[in-house]
Amino acid sequence: MRDAYIVTSVRTPGCRRNKGAFRDTRPEDLLSFILNAAVEKTPGLEKKDVDDMMIGCSFPEAEQGMNIGRIAGQMAGFPIEVSGATVNRFCSSGLEAIALASLRVMSGWSDVTIGGGVESMTYVPMGGNLPRPHPEWTDEHPDLYTSMGITAENVANRYGISREQQDEFAYNSQMKAAKAKAEKLFTEIVPTPAVRFVKQENGTYKKETFIQDFDDGIRESTTMEGLARLRPVFAANGSVTAGNSSQTTDGAAATIIMSEDKVKELGLKPIAKLKFYTTVGCRPDEMGVGPRYAIPKLLDKAGFTIDDIGLWEINEAFASQALYCIRELGLEKYMDRINIHGGAIALGHPLGCTGAKLCATLLANMQARGVKYGVESMCIGGGMGAAGLFELCE
């Protein structure tokens, strides 16, 4: 089987749902922009060279419906022959899309593909616009439809993750992100056009475009005292708050993948190879434990241990589940390798985009630090975990 080389991996900023810079920017516009940006950042590549694109999206309906993976490609000016599909594995959709796009190259079916992700949680709410769980199955197995916040409370209660530990983890996420923002370390971000509607004196609204170049959910002023004052949001006597949970966010990301022959033809220096990818199921009512099972499965396939991995991106859906997974995996000794520029508590979790977003972040950080192996992993709604292993090219 051939190697799949990643030559470009970029993302838009992540912006807060309803209040952030992308609240008036449709998801198709975010995705088509980042697809264009990825091609423009790949010397010698023409849009006609791309065979197919796989796009992750957790709630592919309304503005994100009608196969946004195809529609955004056409909006971005790719030839009619360039196909596209939408991939849904909830929180790992973006990574799943990159894995599927890589498999096309590895199998010899394609020489150039794109894997990416998009989610506008402003336009399409968590759960979608018309959720309809199966009535009898819900009766017998309500755990499959458990609120994500309740699953986080379950993890905290079952595995002894205290409120103080969660708040401290959240504080560190914000501080790492604030430092990275101040030092301009988010090199994977492409400044992105955003839309806003400004009310005029005559009562009408004028559509304006501006450039957004930073993640607007980072709270530099966060303190432990401030976090401690926040009330639980999912259970009356709970420990999960808005401050120690991931932010709901809008964003898009794209990764260009090539065969070795195409890399040589274009004279490109690839960034990395996707070496292994795996998923695993776990109890739906504690879905946050997913990485605790997906990561060992991944490392076993690779013949690696945690000591071999130089950088980690473990999605911070909630502080409780991230802390549990880190503890159970024996990663506490490597905290300086985990989410080095902050995680989803500070930067946001745009659901179907997150896997693609974390890929761009992980690869940028691997390049900056000269780290050979990096892993990204996340828990998944419905009770799953996913993990991918990347190898930096020499």
Active-site positions read: 91, 349, 379
- Is 246 in a helix, a strand, or coil? coil
Cβ-Cβ contacts under 8 Å for 394 (sequence gap 6 or more): none
DSSP-assigned states of every residue in 195-208: EEEEE-TTS-EEEE
* Nearest of 342, 353, 344 to residue 321 by alpha carbon: 344
- Chain-centre distance of CA 190, in angstroms? 16
* Nearest of 304, 295, 353, 300 to residue 324 by alpha carbon: 295
DSSP assignment letter at 222: -
- Is 6 in a helix, a strand, or coil? strand
- Is 112 in a helix, a strand, or coil? strand
Looking at the DSSP bridge assignments, the partners of residue 388 are 277, 376
DSSP assignment letter at 296: H
* Nearest of 143, 165, 138 to residue 154 by alpha carbon: 143
* Nearest of 393, 246, 218, 215 to residue 314 by alpha carbon: 246
* Nearest of 80, 79, 61 to residue 118 by alpha carbon: 61
* Nearest of 243, 248, 218 to residue 230 by alpha carbon: 243
